[in-house]
Amino acid sequence: MATLVRRSAGLLRSSLARPVLFAPATCRIARVACQARGLATQPSAGADQDSSKGSGDSKDAGGERRPTPDSVVFTWKSAIFTCFVGGACVWYYDYLKEKKQAESRAITTQERIGSPRLGGPFELLDRKGNSVTEKDFLGQYLLIYFGFTFCPDICPQEMEKQSRAIELLDEEFGPIATPMFISVDPKRDKPSLVDDYCKDFHPRIVGLTGTPEQVKKVSRAYRVYYNEGLKTDDEDYLVDHSIIHYFVGKNGKFIDFFGKNMTAKEMAEKMRSHIRKDQEKKRQRRERRGVESPEEEED
């Protein structure tokens, strides 16, 4: 009897102890079962898990997200690469900007092999109606501009610029260069009209005109474009023409040309450079030969 009582007590103790021993496992099983029921009732949970995987985050045992190494997208390598590429782009932009500015400068120092074949013999009428040729101007530099007296705005502006450029040369070299105006409107620009027109500009200016054939010949020699525009009558029209100044040497040969974008100061600076080179060449020839020939005086 005593033995039976002891066995019953042992069984009772063991039955009471089992829930305590297996309680943690039972709780975990219950928790997993609840999560399974939650997944079954919420279909979008799978998508949430996939999105969390794509973002590189994971959940700990408490359900909270924690960052993983995959979520760190900005590294030192990417920072250095970005800075390198950005710096290269900035440098290249500055390089192109400086190159464009250098090309747009009117005055540049460069070595030029040869020169365009411009200029040549001509025969025209001066402001008094006298016939003149290119030989009458040997021994002096010429700054030639082609235009017409009825020009409303461009020609007066260019003639003023021409006069100012000659004045700047006069300040250093004296009357070494002569401004010249050649009309491309021979039908209207007679010698007397050219004479009146030139009085408003440099006092040494030479005004020339001529017959249509003479004007065409000298214009072709300097490759000057001109064309009569629309006419309302024979005396009311404009002439479209090139806007260029031609610098000619003492020997009658073409040296340089200057476009509309150049200022009087820039023109004078380039002409001054050519004149100094000519003077230096003449000085060197004198030193070599010890004499100066008439041909050298005209160079």
Give the per-residue pLDDT at 47: 42
Give residue 247's domain range. 123-270
- Residue 32 lies inside a defined structural domain of this protein: no
Residue identified by tokens 């609840």 is 34
Give the per-residue pLDDT at 143: 97
How far apart CA 113 and CA 161 sit, in angstroms, is 28
Give the per-residue pLDDT at 1: 47
- Residue 159 lies inside a defined structural domain of this protein: yes
pTM over 0.75: no
- Residue 77 lies inside a defined structural domain of this protein: no
- Residue 33 lies inside a defined structural domain of this protein: no
pLDDT tens across the length of the chain (299 residues): 444 445 544 544 544 444 443 344 444 544 544 454 454 444 444 444 444 444 444 445 555 555 555 555 567 777 788 888 888 888 888 888 777 766 554 444 444 455 678 888 999 999 999 999 999 999 999 999 999 999 999 999 999 999 999 999 999 999 999 999 999 999 999 999 999 999 999 999 999 999 999 999 999 999 999 988 777 777 788 899 999 999 999 999 999 999 999 999 999 999 999 999 999 998 898 888 875 554 544 45
- Check which CATH number belongs to the domain holding 251 and give it: 3.40.30.10
- Residue 184 lies inside a defined structural domain of this protein: yes
State the total domains in the chain: 1
How many beta carbons lie within 10 A of that of residue 40, not counting itself? Answer: 9
Give the per-residue pLDDT at 73: 58
Alpha helix positions (H), the chain? 2-21, 23-41, 44-54, 76-104, 154-173, 191-198, 212-221, 264-289, 294-298
- Residue 39 lies inside a defined structural domain of this protein: no
- Residue 265 lies inside a defined structural domain of this protein: yes
CA distances from 83 to 86, 107, 194 (A): 5, 38, 67
- Residue 172 lies inside a defined structural domain of this protein: yes
- Which two three-digit tokens encode residue 26? 């039972």
Going by the DSSP 8-state scheme, the letter that residue 236 receives in this structure is B
